[in-house]
Amino acid sequence: MAQQTMPSLARRALGTASSAPVRLADLATTMQRQGIDVIDLSAGRASESTPGFVVRAATQAMLAGDTHQTMARGRPEYREACARKLARENAIEADPETSILATLGCKQGLMLSLLAVLDPGDEVIIEDPCFVSYQPTVELVGGVPVAVPLRPETGFRWAARDLEAAVTERTKAILFCSPQNPTGAVHSAEDLDAIAAVAVEHDLFVISDEIYERVTWGGRRHISIATRPAMRERNLALMGLTKSFSMGGWRIGFVFGPEPVISAMVTLQQHLITSAGAFTQIGAAAALADPPPPEVTALWCDWERRCEFVASELDRMPGVSCRPPEGGYYAWADISGTGFSSEELAERLLRDYHVAVVPGRAFGPHGEGYLRITCVKSWDILQEAVSRLRDALSHPG
């Protein structure tokens, strides 16, 4: 009798590492369900829920029967709201008919962008450390990620020389994030110009992950690379509401880019998911159509204070140094003085002190020696987390 075994899985599935933040957040949820008082500072999820006016807009749409698929590129009202937001906040004039595509969040925008621009074997320059999903997503679509280090000496920006040296005949795109996850760097116009110069010189696409654009600190402002010269025809901007409007569970975002690329992505979208959600687009349109109301901007200000609090507390702990992030909502703590690897320390913190954080190594080899800690939890949670972390680091071994 034939042996009863399952057919083998695809190499691409077996060869894909898990997302450390998502895996750790799932583990923290499982531990909480077992009655363990875990504080989850792993994934980038704020304590606050989506603002009421956004929830109401989506709920009303759903109750009014707005429950069908939309145009593959997204509802006109949503794309118009995205275009208004781009004009108001990013100094970008975008045609909602041709240059905007509604996506299931930034992650899906990234996948579609890569599917649209990469042929198998094409190389994509990524940061090291970078968002954990860049390398797997590039590989899943048949591309080859080429990591270029971000070093503390350059404020976690690429050194122009390193970037230039990474370009080969197979390079097709540069993928970067600002405000950066995990380091919190916010790129200046000069930083962006240095990236743009390499892209123009070597005729590359530039995929910019701008998901943290609204959360910049210390008076800094996010600049979209699309506003730099010669970028409009080669930049795909990944935008989302997951972070700024606490809409991670809605799975909604958009991509802004040149008409031929967006058009190719629309065709792919028709097959992959048909369209982003009907009522989630209505909620997102409400969030983006007008300047954010005071309840939202006040929350962002409070997030800045929480980031400063966590970073300054960490900075005072034995073996740790940590500067407040320039943007985004993570503390990127240098733990090299503790004597632990990032994975050892993160494991110890979860096991013995019930605090879930992400080991820096998960973001790339140059993330070793760091922990990424989410700062946008409520003040009560942060006070307790800081006290547990202080306890852990004061009792090494």
Enumerate binding residues for ligand PMP (CB under 6 A): 44, 105-107, 131, 177, 181, 209, 211, 240, 242, 248, 253
* CB of 131 or CB of 158, closer to ligand PMP: 131
* CB of 49 or CB of 387, closer to ligand PMP: 49
Q: Does residue 354 come out as left (phi exceeding 0), alpha (psi in the -120 to 50 range) or beta?
A: left
* CB of 140 or CB of 392, closer to ligand PMP: 140
State the amino acid at position 371 in one-letter form: L
* CB of 244 or CB of 338, closer to ligand PMP: 244
Distances (CA, A) of 77 to 32, 129, 254, 303, 390: 40, 37, 13, 30, 49
- Cα–Cα distance for residue pair 55/246, rounded to 1 Å: 11
Distances (CA, A) of 20 to 73, 80, 178: 31, 36, 21
Q: How far is the CB of 337 from ligand PMP (least distance, A)?
A: 27
* CB of 211 or CB of 335, closer to ligand PMP: 211
Q: How far is the CB of 21 from ligand PMP (least distance, A)?
A: 7
Alpha helices by DSSP H, the chain: 11-14, 20-33, 52-63, 76-90, 105-117, 134-140, 160-166, 189-202, 259-272, 278-289, 294-315, 342-353, 379-394
Classify 208 as helix, strand or coil: strand
Distances (CA, A) of 266 to 81, 116, 172, 228, 248: 19, 10, 21, 26, 23
Q: How far is the CB of 126 from ligand PMP (least distance, A)?
A: 11
Q: How far is the CB of 203 from ligand PMP (least distance, A)?
A: 25
State the amino acid at position 260 in one-letter form: P
Q: How far is the CB of 34 from ligand PMP (least distance, A)?
A: 25
Those residues with Cβ within 8 angstroms of residue 4's Cβ, 6 or more apart along the chain or in another chain: none
Q: How far is the CB of 396 from ligand PMP (least distance, A)?
A: 30
Burial class (CB in 10 A: 0-12, 13-18, 19+), 188: middle
* CB of 224 or CB of 338, closer to ligand PMP: 224
State the amino acid at position 73 in one-letter form: R
* CB of 249 or CB of 365, closer to ligand PMP: 249
**Pairing state between β 330-334 and 370-374:** antiparallel
* CB of 106 or CB of 163, closer to ligand PMP: 106
Q: How far is the CB of 347 from ligand PMP (least distance, A)?
A: 21
Rg of the chain on CA atoms, in Å? 21
- Cα–Cα distance for residue pair 46/242, rounded to 1 Å: 10
Residue least distant from ligand PMP (Cβ)? 105
Q: How far is the CB of 124 from ligand PMP (least distance, A)?
A: 15
